[in-house]
C-alpha cells in the first residue's frame, strides 16, 4: 500500500490479470490522494507524499483509464498482452472522478508550492507561476461539461465541482493587508461569494451531509471575504465589493456555520467568532468605518481563541482573524498609489488570459509552524507578529 504511488512497483501489462491489477492499484492510490489533498488544504498541512515523488502515470486525464467498471474486465480481456489499456474519450461512470482528481492535483500544486521552504511569494518566478496556475484552473473548469452530467447531484454535481474551482482561486490569491486593495482582493471577493452561496444551496437542497472539512473551509472562505473588506478602504473597492452577492454570501456563511455547529459542538467557537467579525467589519459604502473593531468583539474573539486555534489550525485563516481582532482597519494613507508599470503589467496579463485577470498579490510566507497554539490562546496583548525563529520548514 505504501508503494502504490511508484510506477516501478506496478506489474507489467502481460496479461488480463496484470491489466486489472494496475487499474485497481491506481484507483486505490488516487482515491487516497484525493482525500489527503482535501485534508491537507483544509488544515494547511504539507501533503503526505509530494507530487514530485509520485511516479505513476499522472498525465492529464490519465490517472487511471476512463473505462466503466462493468466493462473493465471485457476491455482488459480483449487487449493484446503487453499493451496498456486504452480508455474512452466519452463520458463514463469514472469521468467525474477523473475530473475531481485533476482538480486535486492543481490544489496540491498550490499547497506544495506555498509551503515549500524555497517559496518566495514576491518573486517574478512566483508571479509567473500564479499566472500559469490560473490558466490551468481555467482549463480544468472548462472540462466540467464533458466530465459531469447536469443531472448529477451532491459531491459529483457540476455545482460542487465549480465550488472547488472557486476554492482553489481563494487558495491561490489569498489576500494580505498589503495586497487586498488590489486584484487579489477583487478576485478573492468574487470567488468567496460564489463558494459560500453554492455550499449553502447544497445544504438547503440536502444534497450533502454535514462534513467537518466543509465546516472548516466555509469558515476559512467567510473569514477571507470579511478580511478583504477589513484590508480595503471603501475608496479602493472594486465592483465586486459593492455587489449584492456580498451580503448574500455572508448570510449564507452565517447560516451554514450555525447549522453545522448544531452537529458539531466543537464548532460553536467557529460560529461565534464569525458572527462577531461579521457584525464589526463594514461591508457597505454608507456604513461607518471604525478605526478598529469594538472592545466587546475583541474580547469575545479572545475568549474563543484557544478553542478556535485548536479546531481551525489553518494558519492563514488564524492570521486573518488575529489581524482583524488586533489591528486597525486599513486606511487610505496605508496604500501606495499604483505605478504606471503595475498598470501596464495588469493590462498585459488581462490580455494574455482573455479577459480573466489574475491577482497581482504579495502573500505572507505561509510555512508550517511547529507549535501553532504557542502564545496564541493567551490573549491578544503580545505583538501580533509571529516569531519566525520558531518555524520548522518542510522542504518538499
| pLDDT at site 92 | 77
Ramachandran assignment for 387, one of left (phi > 0), alpha (psi -120 to 50 degrees), beta (any other): beta
Residue among 214, 287, 204 nearest 252 (CA): 204
Q: Phi, psi (5° rounding) for residue 391?
A: -80, 145
> Which residue is listed with cell 487516497?
32
The dihedral region occupied by 313, where left means phi > 0, alpha psi between -120 and 50, and beta the remainder, is left
Q: Residue 224: count other Cβ atoms within 10 Å of its Cβ.
A: 25
Query: pLDDT value at position 174?
Result: 86
pTM comes to 0.81
- Please state the domain extents for the chain: 1-114, 127-390
Measured distance CA(20)–CA(177) in Å, rounded: 52
User: Measured between alpha carbons, how far is 273 from 308 in angstroms, rounded to an integer?
Assistant: 8
Residue 291, judged by CB atoms within 10 A of its CB (0-12, 13-18, 19+), counts as exposed
Cβ-based neighbour number of residue 233 at 10 Å: 18
Q: For every one of its 396 residues, what pLDDT tens digit does the chain have, with 9 covering 90 and above?
A: 468 777 777 878 778 888 888 888 888 888 999 999 999 999 999 998 888 888 876 543 357 777 777 767 777 777 777 777 777 677 777 788 888 999 999 999 999 998 988 877 667 787 788 889 999 999 999 988 888 888 888 888 899 999 999 999 999 988 888 888 888 899 999 999 999 999 999 999 888 887 899 999 999 999 999 999 999 999 999 999 999 999 999 999 999 999 999 999 999 999 999 999 999 999 998 889 999 999 999 999 999 999 999 999 999 999 999 999 999 999 988 877 653 334 434 434 444 444 443 333 233 233 222 333 333 333 433 323 333 222 322 222
Following CA atoms 362, 44, 135, 363 in sequence, which dihedral angle do they give, to the nearest 10 degrees? 0
Q: Residue 288 burial (CB < 10 Å; 0-12/13-18/19+)? A: exposed
Q: Please count the residues of the chain.
A: 396
Note the pLDDT of residue 88: 67
What are the residues facing 369 on neighbouring strands?
391
Q: What is the structure's pLDDT at 282? A: 96
- Other Cβ atoms less than 10 A from the Cβ of 14: the count is 11
Residue 98, C-alpha cell as written in the block: 477523473
**Confidence (pLDDT) at 318:** 97
Q: What are the cell numbers at 315?
A: 494558519
DSSP 3-state assignment of 195? helix
Amino acid at each position: 500500500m505504501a508503494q502504490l504511488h511508484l510506477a516501478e512497483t506496478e506489474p507489467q501489462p502481460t496479461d488480463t490479470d496484470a491489466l486489472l491489477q494496475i487499474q485497481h492499484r491506481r484507483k486505490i492510490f488516487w482515491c487516497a490522494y484525493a482525500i489527503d489533498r482535501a485534508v491537507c488544504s483544509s488544515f494547511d498541512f504539507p501533503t503526505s507524499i509530494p507530487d514530485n515523488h509520485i511516479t505513476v502515470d499522472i498525465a492529464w486525464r490519465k490517472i487511471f483509464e476512463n473505462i466503466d467498471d462493468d466493462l473493465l474486465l471485457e476491455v482488459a480481456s480483449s487487449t493484446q498482452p503487453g499493451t496498456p489499456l486504452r480508455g474512452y474519450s466519452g463520458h463514463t461512470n469514472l469521468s467525474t472522478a477523473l475530473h475531481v482528481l485533476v482538480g486535486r492535483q492543481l490544489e496540491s500544486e498550490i499547497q506544495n508550492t506555498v509551503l515549500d521552504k524555497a517559496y518566495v511569494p514576491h518573486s517574478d518566478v512566483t508571479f509567473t507561476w500564479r499566472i500559469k496556475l490560473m490558466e490551468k484552473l481555467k482549463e480544468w473548469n472548462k472540462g466540467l461539461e464533458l466530465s459531469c452530467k447536469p443531472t448529477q447531484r451532491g459531491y459529483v454535481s457540476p455545482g460542487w465541482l465549480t465550488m472547488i474551482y472557486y476554492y482553489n482561486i481563494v487558495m491561490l490569491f489569498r489576500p494580505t493587508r498589503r495586497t487586498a486593495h488590489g486584484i487579489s482582493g477583487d478576485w478573492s471577493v468574487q470567488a468567496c461569494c460564489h463558494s459560500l452561496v453554492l455550499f449553502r444551496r447544497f445544504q438547503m437542497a440536502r444534497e450533502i451531509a454535514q462534513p467537518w472539512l466543509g465546516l472548516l473551509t466555509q469558515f476559512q472562505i467567510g473569514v477571507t471575504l470579511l478580511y478583504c473588506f477589513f484590508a480595503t478602504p471603501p475608496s479602493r473597492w472594486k465592483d465586486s465589493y459593492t455587489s449584492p452577492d456580498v451580503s448574500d454570501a455572508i448570510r449564507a456563511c452565517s447560516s451554514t456555520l450555525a447549522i453545522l455547529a448544531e452537529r458539531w459542538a466543537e464548532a460553536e467557537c467557529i460560529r461565534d467568532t464569525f458572527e462577531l467579525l461579521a457584525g464589526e467589519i463594514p461591508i457597505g459604502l454608507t456604513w461607518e468605518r471604525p478605526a478598529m473593531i469594538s472592545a466587546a468583539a475583541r474580547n469575545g474573539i479572545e475568549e474563543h481563541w484557544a478553542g478556535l486555534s485548536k479546531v481551525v489550525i489553518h494558519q492563514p485563516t488564524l492570521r486573518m482573524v488575529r489581524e482583524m481582532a488586533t489591528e486597525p482597519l486599513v486606511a487610505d494613507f496605508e496604500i501606495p498609489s499604483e505605478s504606471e508599470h503595475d498598470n501596464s503589467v495588469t493590462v498585459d496579463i488581462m490580455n494574455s488570459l482573455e479577459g480573466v485577470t489574475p491577482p497581482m498579490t504579495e502573500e505572507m510566507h505561509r510555512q508550517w509552524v511547529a507549535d501553532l497554539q504557542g502564545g496564541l490562546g493567551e490573549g491578544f496583548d503580545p505583538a501580533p507578529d509571529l516569531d519566525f525563529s520558531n518555524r520548522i520548514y518542510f522542504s518538499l
